[in-house]
Structure 1
Amino acid sequence: MTRTINLYVDDLRDCPDGFVLARNYQEAIDLLETHDVDILTLDHDLGEDERGGELPNGYDLVKYICENGLRANKIYLHTDNPVGRRNMYETLLAAQRRGFIAEDIEIYHYPITVNKYSG
């Protein structure tokens, strides 16, 4: 039986209590594909490689979720990037309307947790 988790995807912020942390795109995919996810909360910017190039971000993750029919019961966007937030939100809603993701997924354009940095 698959364990149900709450998943927090962020490269820098502290992970809130009650969540499993994914620091990057691939960690998030691995967890989404191997666990039932109740709450998913997403950052947009997920870091840079050693040459300063942007690593796959939260929008890339949203596209992967939509293309592969993955799900979380509730999806929140905790990013501070306004353009990234809008892109993720609108893509999720469009995918839901078109049947790529389940219609019962609750999608929110705001955070459910407080963003904290300790380091």
Structure 2
Amino acid sequence: MKIFLDDEREAPAGWIQARWPDEVIALLKTGEVDTVSLDHDLGDDRRGTGYDVIRWIEEAVALRGFKPPHILVHSANPAAAARMHAGIAAIANLMKTRGA
């Protein structure tokens, strides 16, 4: 399954649309997500950002042995995208230390 998190852009054909981080996390918990594409700014920071999904994945990898999906970032916010890419790199490093 491919998940597209964005509050404005529509998901590409073959992708499942999500508007909020909790929707993405619920789908990640199924273990059936192979790719996730994340926007950062979702219109209501109290409900979360795309970075919150990255933080959840990082914690799940570190503490629960979660196998992360392929993670893409399509945010138009350069500073937030850089932070998200740093989080993805941290997840990759965790996977290396696990030998995965």
Shorter-normalised TM range: 0.7 to 0.9
Q: 1:8 touches 1:21 (CA, 8 Å); kept in 2?
A: yes
Give the structure with the larger helix fraction. 2
Q: 1:96 touches 1:102 (CA, 8 Å); kept in 2?
A: no
Indicate which of 88, 92, 96 corresponds to 2:92. Answer: 96
Counterpart CA distance in 2 for 1:44 and 1:25 is: 10
Counterpart CA distance in 2 for 1:101 and 1:30 is: 26
List alignment gaps of at least 5 residues for structure 2: none
**Match in the other structure for 1:25:** 21
Q: Given the superposition, is the C-alpha separation of residues 100 and 43 from structure 1 closer, same or farther in structure 2, using an over 3 Å criterion?
A: farther
Query: What's the TM-score, normalizing by structure 2?
Result: 0.82
List alignment gaps of at least 5 residues for structure 1: 105-119
Which runs of structure 2 are paired with 1:1-119 in the superposition (5 Å)?
A: 5-48=1-44, 54-69=46-61, 70=66, 71-72=68-69, 74-99=70-95
Deviation at 1:95, TM superposition (A): 2.7
Question: For residue 86 of structure 2, what is the amino acid of its counterpart?
Answer: E
The runs of 4+ residues in structure 1 deviating greater than 4 Å are 100-104
Identity across the alignment (%): 33
